[in-house]
Amino acid sequence: MAQPIPLTIPPRDPRQELLDRLQQAPAEHAAAILDSYELLQQLHKHGVFTLIRGTLGATDKIVETAAAGANAPESIRAIRNAIILAKMLGSIDPEVLQGTCEAVSQTFGNAKSVAYEPPSLFGLFTSFASRDLRRGMGLINSLLKNLAYQLKIRTAPGPQK
């Protein structure tokens, strides 16, 4: 009958494995180590370490100052306004916004081409015949009407939100 072959696995020493890897690392990663030393020297020369040490030492003061600034009514309004503006921009179709940007660029893009003399009354009346002008005036009219409505409901006396 066959006899089992004894299998003896030597005990594993993770610390010794790490020490072996550490001894081989300078030879395997010499270029990276030299680059790291050069980077450390540049950071030291430019005072980055001094700045980081100062920042870490003044962490409490920095947090106090930031919290006091963020707690100011102006900061709270600015944050709320930024959120509202982000929501507003998110609700606009990108094609419409692109067209608006192009129209503004065509109108104001070259400041030297903007007319300094006002158009004549006849020129104004003839421009009303343009469908594009009427379309734009309708859009502006709709915007002003909606703006007036929003101002009315937000400033009306009565129970506030």
Return mean pLDDT, the chain: 87
Running DSSP on this structure, what letter comes out for residue 112? G
- Two structure tokens written together for 64: 């106090």
Please report which confidence band the pLDDT of residue 141 belongs to, taking 50, 70 and 90 as the band edges: very high
85: pLDDT strictly greater than 90: yes
Question: What DSSP designation does 11 have?
Answer: P
pLDDT exceeds cutoff 60 at 5? yes
**Model confidence, pTM:** 0.46
Q: How far apart are CA 36 and CA 40, in angstroms?
A: 6
The per-residue pLDDT for 84 is: 95
User: Burial, 22: exposed, middle or buried (Cβ in 10 Å; 0-12, 13-18, 19+)?
Assistant: exposed
**Which tens digit of pLDDT belongs to each residue from 108-129?**
776 666 667 788 899 888 888 8
